[in-house]
Amino acid sequence: MEKHEYRRHCASRACHAAPIFPRHRMPSTRWKRLVAFFVLTYAVTWSFFFAVAAFGIPAGSPLGTLLVLAGAFAPSVVALGLTARGEGSSGVRALVSRVVRWRVGARWYLFAAGYIVAVKLAAALVHRLALGEWPRFGHDPWFAIPAAIVFSTPFQAGEEIGWRGYALPRLAERLGLARASVLLGLIWAFWHLPQFFIPESDTYGQSFFVYVMQVTALSVALAWLYARTRGSLLLVMLLHSAVNNAKDVVPSAQPGATHAFDLNASPVAWITVTLLWVCAAYFLVRMPPWRPSVAS
The per-residue pLDDT for range 110-138, each reduced to its tens digit, is 999 999 999 999 999 999 999 999 999 99
Q: Spell out the alpha helix ranges (H) of the chain.
A: 3-16, 26-54, 62-72, 74-97, 106-131, 144-152, 157-160, 168-175, 177-191, 208-228, 233-246, 267-286
The per-residue pLDDT for range 190-221, each reduced to its tens digit, is 999 999 999 999 999 999 999 999 999 999 99
Residue ranges of domains in the chain:
102-295
pTM of the model: 0.89
Q: Which residues contact 74 (CB under 8 A, 6 or more apart)?
A: 40, 41, 44, 45, 48, 162
Confidence (pLDDT) at 27: 63
Give the relative orientation of helices 208-228 and 177-191 as an angle to the nearest 10 degrees. Answer: 140
Distance set, CA 160 to CA 67, 239, 268, 273 (Å):
19, 11, 27, 22
Confidence (pLDDT) at 252: 95
Residues constituting the chain: 296
